[in-house]
Structure 1
């Protein structure tokens, strides 16, 4: 009877209509941020949560991810580093065929065919790709990642990142700079000339410099850059400066004839560090792979048509849904009608607790992707709801040096209905258009519900 003898204590859950009515009457209340689970997942959630392996498996997976110590160990040609099969290109995202490839992906593949000298002109390149005479495989299947279209051909140079804790390695192509570039589907003479210069000058100079300097601790640079206003996906200004400070003396010593040219190129591109950060993130998430019973997401990637995820306890299987068009700011006269659906492997940064998950560390990012500073902070805070840990090394000053949210759990995504936040560049739908904007995008929920269903089947046979 005490309920009726004192003032009411009100808890509101779900729709805010009742809460707002109570606020209007000055009734104190406690609001609970509750959301229903993703549609159709209740039964699967129960079975996966009851899997006796899950808690220990996830603890092990996230511990391996956060314990990784990525070091930039070298720069090597893809043909040497990745053991590519003959006549094979790598691309961003889950597997895709030429007939389903978007404009930027097709443009990048045509450009790579011309770069390798496998075709004399655009028409011949198109025919080779359409007929399947050039094989296409995801970067992720070769311990690699690629930004935007992410196309890797044998002659391209790759950052080689070694995980000093677990012994693994991951690779990412070198950043071409801004403007008309292969990763956005451009393949004109200026694009191919730049790639040839990267092959003849940039790659060899960086390789020589790293032989002089020795491995560079990327984890330490990332941790420092987060405290200098970067989030390591779409803002890499501080990290690029830190990397060039490490490389400059060795470049001058190892390649005196081209050092100034290389430093001028890298210093004029604030995203130069992004590709190294992607390889570092890939090295960490790969360390968490193949742990039976784990519901930890180890890859998120897009190919311009599909958005796919991979889960630690489910091997190399992809779970996909349609890639969405980012919501954000557009350059010049461009608008949503000019945008290609989301594309690129750079979501490996979010998978490792950076990028959209670390936006609270980079308030200036809102000038690039849209919104207010408070939106960036709110985005990071919401990611703690779907992750298993806080990164011990990657910390956010504005949140009291709280570690970035890391370790996306499929079950938490399903239970809360909260989808990972991704900030990204927006590629033009037409090959060669280049970047038309930047913004935020959410993965398709069905990629996670499909992964949850597969976890249910694995749990049932244990």
Structure 2
């Protein structure tokens, strides 16, 4: 038993505190000028107890070998931009009544409002419906096939809607020969991917199909393949992170395309219109960055015993992940709300839960994982430059490696944290960080802000359970 004199002696000295548990205790102490360090500790969950089954030497060795193979495939990927095509003609499995969407599988009844809005717009765009009411009836009729972009080697930002006639980028992973596809970026604000479908939105889509795509298609035929790994390496050293900040990336792509665009057979007016559209759209490269990450990650999907995550995605209702060692199986849980900054006139009550395939960038190690290289991103998603660095540093704790090509100058050129390990997420209770746009929870409104969000822990816990069952470890 401690004596009263000992207690008095203790509190008579300068006190330095290590705080476990609620971080608010640490903040209170600091406000009172008491030195305090917060330890981000949480008690283990019931599900996390299964990690011990993965520590036995035989399975641990198999996991280690498999994860090394996964990282080797990811780091050796060579994404290249090879062309432009029509979705229905180049994306496997597309029909005139197929609509691809972001996130894991979902039926019409459970879809979020921005996803429904984008589908309404897609049906009108394809002349399958005459207006909103007609589109709603058709969407609910069972005649339309809804399927994730990820099931068709594609990705789509936010709602991620891809229809038969839409132009798409065609990318290839030169190392493994697999392809990936993505629509063109429309810009910010009221756009289809955020669930808007006004005549202004549709007219822009028709212009992209009839004017933008033909010019870019011919320009790429003149230019030839574009090495995207080199561009990603460059923009990470120019203040972009490849998800919500793409100013440098778009400029680099512009430099690759502009001379070839000038050489196309289109009128000077058409060429100028295309060049202006790219120049005025700082997010133009996002729809190239995403499929670059997608085709880099897809070769990981068949590595037995690997605990590396190769897909993270959300549809506005469910967040889903897929893990190399469990193949194409989805592990889902309800999407979280985004913590961020809102456009004037909007607040949290107007926001839809997390949405989009764009966190494929974080899955590959850029985007939110590389925020340290893009301190200006905080002006768009909230926080401080120090927060951006902290986000990146924290992600090293849940990944297997550092990228040997994608480097961050302001943290001594460390490679971006690469290869999310399911085991480390569950063990540390640290979730991947994603920076993202915020869509309105009402169809037709569009984007209302941007911020930072995490996947639900349940996705990773379910992946662990499935891994244990698949490998008969229980």
Question: Taking structure 1 as the reference length, what is the TM-score of the superposition?
Answer: 0.93
Cα distance between partner residues in 2 of 1:18 and 1:215: 54
Say whether 1:459 aligns with 2:447.
no
1:221-272 deviations in whole A, cap 9, x for unaligned?
1110011100110000000000000000111112442221111111110000
Output one character per residue of 1:263-285: Cα deviation in whole Å (capped at 9) or x when no partner: 11111100000000000000111
Do structure 1's residue 253 and structure 2's residue 263 form an aligned pair? Answer: yes
Q: What does residue 353 of structure 2 align with?
A: 341
**Residues of 1 paired with 2:450 and 2:423: CA distance?**
29
Alignment of 1:188-227 (within 5 A): 188-227=198-237
Cα distance between partner residues in 2 of 1:135 and 1:49: 43
| Shift of residue 11, structure 1, vs aligned partner | 11
1:25-44 superposed Cα distances (whole Å, 9 cap, x missing partner) = 999x9x79563465113331
Alignment-derived partner of residue 85 in structure 2: 76
Assess, with a 3 A threshold, how the Cα gap between structure 1 residues 313 and 256 changes in structure 2: closer, same or farther.
Answer: same
Q: 5+ residue gaps in structure 1?
A: 1-9
SS at match of 1:96: coil
Verify the 8 A CA contact 1:36 1:415 in the aligned structure 2.
Answer: no
Q: 2 CA distance for matches of 1:385 and 1:212?
A: 44
Q: Could you say what secondary structure the match of 1:240 adopts?
A: helix
Q: Which moved more, 1:169-178 or 1:411-420?
A: 169-178
Contact 1:48/1:455 (<8 A) preserved: no
For the 8 Å contact 1:37–1:414, the answer to whether it is kept is no
Which aligned pairs between 1:155-194 and structure 2 lie closer than 5 A? Answer: 155-194=165-204
- Structure 1 residue runs of 4+, over 2 Å off? 10-21, 24-27, 31-38
The answer to whether the Cα contact below 8 Å between 1:209 and 1:255 also exists between their aligned partners in 2 is no
Of residues 406, 412, 430, the one that matches 2:418 is 406
Q: CA deviation at 1:433?
A: 1.1
Task: Report the equivalent of 1:290.
Answer: 302
SS of the equivalent of 1:68 reads coil
Q: Give 2:391's aligned residue.
A: 379
> Structure 1 residues 20 and 256 mapped into 2: Cα distance closer, same or farther (>3 Å)?
same
Counterpart among 53, 61, 74 of residue 62 in structure 2: 53
- For the residue of structure 1 that corresponds to 2:471, the secondary structure is helix
1:369 aligns with 2:375: no
After superposition, give the CA deviation of every residue in 1:191-228 in whole Å (9 maximum; x if it has no partner): 11111111111111111111111110111111100111
Distance 2:110 2:138 in 1: 16
Cα 1:38–1:269 change in 2 (3 A) is farther
Q: 2: CA distance between counterparts of 1:99 and 1:392?
A: 44
Measure the CA separation in 2 of the matches of 1:304 and 1:332.
22
Q: SS at 2:229's partner residue?
A: helix
Is the contact between residue 153 and residue 181 of structure 2 (CA under 8 Å) also seen in structure 1? yes
Shift in alpha-carbon separation, 1:49–1:215, aligned structure 2, 3 A: farther
TM-score, normalization by structure 2:
0.91
Match status 1:279 vs 2:288: no
Is 2:421 aligned against 1:421? no
**d(CA) in 2 for partners of 1:274, 1:399:** 24
Shift of 1:18: 9.9
Counterpart residue number, 2:320 = 308
2:9 alignment counterpart: none
Inter-partner Cα distance in structure 1 for 2:380 and 2:372? 14
Q: 1:37, 1:415 within 8 Å by CA — same for their partners in 2?
A: no
Query: Partner residue of 2:41?
Result: 35
In the TM superposition, residue 132 of structure 1 has moved relative to its aligned partner by 1.4
Correspondent of 1:136 among 146, 167, 171? 146
For the pair 1:233 / 2:243, whether they are aligned, the reply is yes
C-alpha separation in 2, matches of 1:205 and 1:319: 41
Q: Indicate whether 1:244 and 2:244 are aligned.
A: no
Q: 2:120 & 2:291 partners in 1: Cα distance?
A: 25
Q: Is the 8 A contact 2:48 2:461 kept in 1?
A: no
- Per-residue deviation, residues 372-400 of structure 1 (Å, max 9, x unmatched): 11000000000000000111111100000
Counterpart-to-counterpart distance in 1, 2:431 and 2:317: 19
For 1:32 and 1:166, locate their aligned partners in 2 and report how far apart those are by CA, in whole Å: 45
RMSD over aligned CA atoms reads: 2.2
* CA distance in 2: counterparts of 1:49 and 1:448, whole angstroms: 17
